[in-house]
Amino acid sequence: MSIFHKDENTFGRKTRKYNSILAGEASAKFSLLLGTLASFDCRISELPNEELVVDYFRWRNEDASRNALNSHCYWVQRKQGKAVSEAAEYLIRKSVAEKNEFLFQSGVNFNDLPNWQKRSIGLYWKDIEGKGKNEKTLEETTFTRRQIFADMALPMKDEYAAFMRKILAE
C-alpha cells in the first residue's frame, strides 16, 4: 500500500499510469530477486478525506494480522503433513482464540512473533540528520536528507490510527 502526497502530480495523476508503472516495477524487482517470473497487480483507491485514508489503512493493518494468523496456521498444518485442501479447510469457522491455541499447541506463540511477521512492515520517508564537511571551507556541517525507513514494529489499533495521522500530516 502506498500513499501519494495530495500535491503529487507525477504522470499528471493519471490512475492508469500509476497502476501500470507500480505493478511493473514490483513485478520486475521481485522477479529478479526471486530468480523466476513473478507478477503483481495494483489498485488505487482515491479517498476524499484524510479520515477515510486513516480508516482504510487501519483496516488493512488489521487485515494483515488476520492473514498472518491464518498463514501461520496453514503452514503449521502443511508441515504436519496435511494436504493443501485439509490445511485450508481447517481454518474455516475457527475463531482467533482457536487458531492461537492450535499454534501454541504446535509450539508457536503467535503473540511472541516479531511484529513484522504479524502485521507487515511500513516503508516511509524519514528525515535523517548527519554530519559532513564543507569541501571548500573544511568546516563541519550538519545536513538533513530524506531516506526510506523500514518500520518493523508498526503500532496497533488506535495507536496505528494516530501513527497514520502523523504520516499524513508530514
Tell me, yes or no, whether 152 and 77 share the same domain. yes
pLDDT digit string, tens, across residues 126-157: 999 999 999 899 999 999 999 999 999 999 88
Tell me, yes or no, whether 18 and 88 share the same domain. no
Q: What are phi and psi of 4, to 5 degrees?
A: -95, 140
Asked if 153 and 115 count as a contact pair (C-beta separation under 8 A), the reply is yes
How far apart, in whole angstroms, are the C-alpha atoms of residue 153 and residue 161? 14
CATH of the domain at 141: 3.30.70.3000
**Nearest CA to 39 among 22, 24, 27, 25?**
27
Q: Which domain holds residue 77?
A: 47-169
Tell me, yes or no, whether 55 and 8 share the same domain. no
- Residues of the chain scoring pLDDT < 50: none
